[in-house]
Amino acid sequence: MARPREFDRDAALEKAMRVFWAKGFAATSTDDLIQAMGIGRQSLYNAFGGKQDLYREALAAYQRGTISGHLRRLDSRASPIEGLYELLHGLTPQDDAERALGCMGVGSVSEFGTGDPALVEQRGKAGTLLGTRIADRIREGQGAGEIDPGLDPVQAAAFIQMTMTGLQLAARGGAGAEDLAAMARFAVDRLRKG
């Protein structure tokens, strides 16, 4: 008879996510994970598979949380241009330590590139979902006279997503919250109707 699991799987996954987010995949050892998760090595393998499987699951959990937050900020303002600003501004927490973590998704791209097809697919789904909603808000802004009607909404959405990546890399590199907020405003202002 199998012994019942003696730990909270969701809490252990959250702890693993924090380790991967801070250190990346390659720099995170199995010992780092079992220590942070508070479980034994065999429990890790039984519950999550190997380190790669745990990383994919942790990244998926991270993406669910961040995409939800991104969409909430994007839709938080009646003004589409201000919703776009809230989306970008919300990427840069005031807390220096949290801001310095950057984005686990961006870290995944930096570390794996296109070398892991499962991660490429996983990141692609999240990016497409967000990009579609950003393009919708841009169209709304064009209809409301806030955003340049000559812009292609899909290309403008890609610009916003590229700006998100840049802001998160800059945050990881030590950029301050005020500078990042100014860059968010600068990027959004490029979309305004002239």
SS3 146: coil
Query: What pLDDT score was predicted for residue 64?
Result: 94
**34 vs 41: CA distance, rounded Å:** 6
Q: What is the pLDDT of residues 142-181, one digit of tens each?
A: 999 999 999 999 999 999 999 999 999 999 999 999 999 9
Q: In the chain, what are the domain boundaries?
A: 59-189
Query: What average pLDDT does range 55-83 have in this prediction?
Result: 96
The yes-or-no verdict on residue 3 having pLDDT over 80 is no
**52 vs 6: CA distance, rounded Å:** 23
Domain 59-189 matching CATH 2.30.40.10: the answer reads no
